[in-house]
């Protein structure tokens, strides 16, 4: 039997999904990419809580069975579509996580009640579903390009990662936050109800009007102006003594812009990569970050951008950065044309 170790890994995480209550009976499916054109996937109608290695099939990226005596999971097209499209994804988990499923049946916006959920989840996308299986994989995969975990309305959750462990972790954080949100709403003290809408600090819609070329001089001058004219940033910058340098690098072109902060105020800009904190990403990802299609913190924790620096300090300056990134979202960049 080939890929014996990897099959045991699939069995371990599949059974853990059942132990944690994320799947019951014959629901859910798991896959793991093992070679460039091969993957392991749980078989159709298998009970994940009692899964054995002979129920883990080897298929190609078109879901043709190469090893095994069963049919692949019914969501096979979703799994193979994800691997074909999303670079760096080696694992896919689809569960029927009950709290997340219940929450998004009634509500559209998940509040973040912990820093962990804010960092790892960001804004959770919800994809409408009209059938018992995913018949249109395109909107699901498109959503997964921006965030590694999405909700299928009335159907469950899909999480992806470089490993089954990382995908499982995202699902675990989402389920915990869904449970907390439901508890808050049950107690009739939901911040959503009190404010009459989602937290404005979570608003990802870029402002209308002029769009700038990513990290151009004009773009950076406007970012600097937005920060330096904002009273809240100045107050938070002084309060938290945010004095540091932050470099943003376009990994496709090598173009870098370094912002120098003095107690929250940007006092200088140049092209140095030798900064206290460094963010590097592909141009298409950076554009989505600046347009708030991807949360900047989630882009880091989910590995969409590479970061370096003393993150103990970064955590201390978190309130300043949250406000800064919100302001930067009001300076939209031109769409990616690559």
Q: Which of 334, 330, 53, 71 is nearest to 206 (CA)?
A: 330
Q: Please work out, in degrees rounded to the nearest 5, the angle formed at the alpha carbon of residue 223 by the alpha carbons of 218 and 226.
A: 125
Q: How far is CA 291 from CA 154, 213, 285, 297, 317, in A?
A: 29, 12, 10, 14, 22
Known catalytic residues are 75
> What residues contact residue 253 under an 8 Å CB cut-off, 6+ apart?
283
Q: How far apart are CA 108 and CA 7, in angstroms?
A: 36
* 70 close to 149: Cβ distance less than 8 angstroms: no
DSSP-derived pairing of the beta strands 149-152 and 156-161: antiparallel
């Amino acid at each position: 039997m080939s890929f014996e170790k990897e099959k045991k890994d699939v069995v371990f995480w599949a059974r853990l999904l059942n132990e944690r209550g994320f799947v019951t009976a014959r629901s859910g499916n798991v896959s793991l990419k093992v070679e460039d054109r091969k993957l392991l996937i749980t078989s159709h109608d298998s009970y994940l809580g009692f899964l054995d290695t002979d129920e883990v099939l080897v298929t190609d990226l078109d879901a043709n069975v190469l090893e095994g005596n069963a049919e692949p999971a019914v969501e096979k097209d979703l799994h193979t579509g994800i691997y074909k499209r999303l670079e760096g994804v080696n694992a896919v988990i689809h569960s029927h996580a009950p709290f997340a499923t219940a929450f998004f049946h009634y509500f559209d916006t998940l509040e973040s009640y912990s820093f962990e959920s804010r960092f790892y989840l960001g804004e959770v996308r919800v994809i409408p579903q009209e059938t018992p299986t995913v018949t249109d994989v395109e909107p699901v995969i498109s959503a997964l390009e921006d965030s590694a975990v999405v909700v299928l309305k009335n159907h469950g959750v899909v999480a992806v990662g470089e490993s089954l462990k990382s995908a499982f972790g995202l699902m675990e954080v989402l389920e915990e936050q869904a449970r907390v949100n439901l508890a808050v709403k049950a107690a009739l003290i939901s911040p959503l109800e009190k404010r009459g809408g989602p937290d404005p600090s979570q608003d990802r819609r870029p402002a209308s009007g002029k769009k700038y070329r990513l990290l151009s001089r004009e773009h950076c001058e406007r970012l600097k102006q937005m920060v330096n004219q904002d009273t809240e940033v100045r107050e938070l910058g002084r309060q938290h003594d945010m004095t540091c340098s932050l470099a943003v690098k376009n990994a496709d072109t090598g173009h870098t812009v370094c912002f120098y902060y003095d107690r929250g105020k940007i006092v200088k800009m140049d092209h140095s990569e030798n900064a206290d904190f460094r963010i590097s990403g592909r141009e298409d990802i950076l554009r989505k970050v600046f347009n708030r299609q991807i949360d900047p913190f989630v882009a880091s924790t989910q590995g969409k951008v590479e970061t370096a620096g003393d993150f103990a300090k970064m955590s201390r300056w978190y309130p300043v950065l949250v406000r800064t990134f919100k302001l930067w979202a009001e300076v939209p960049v031109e769409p990616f044309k690559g």
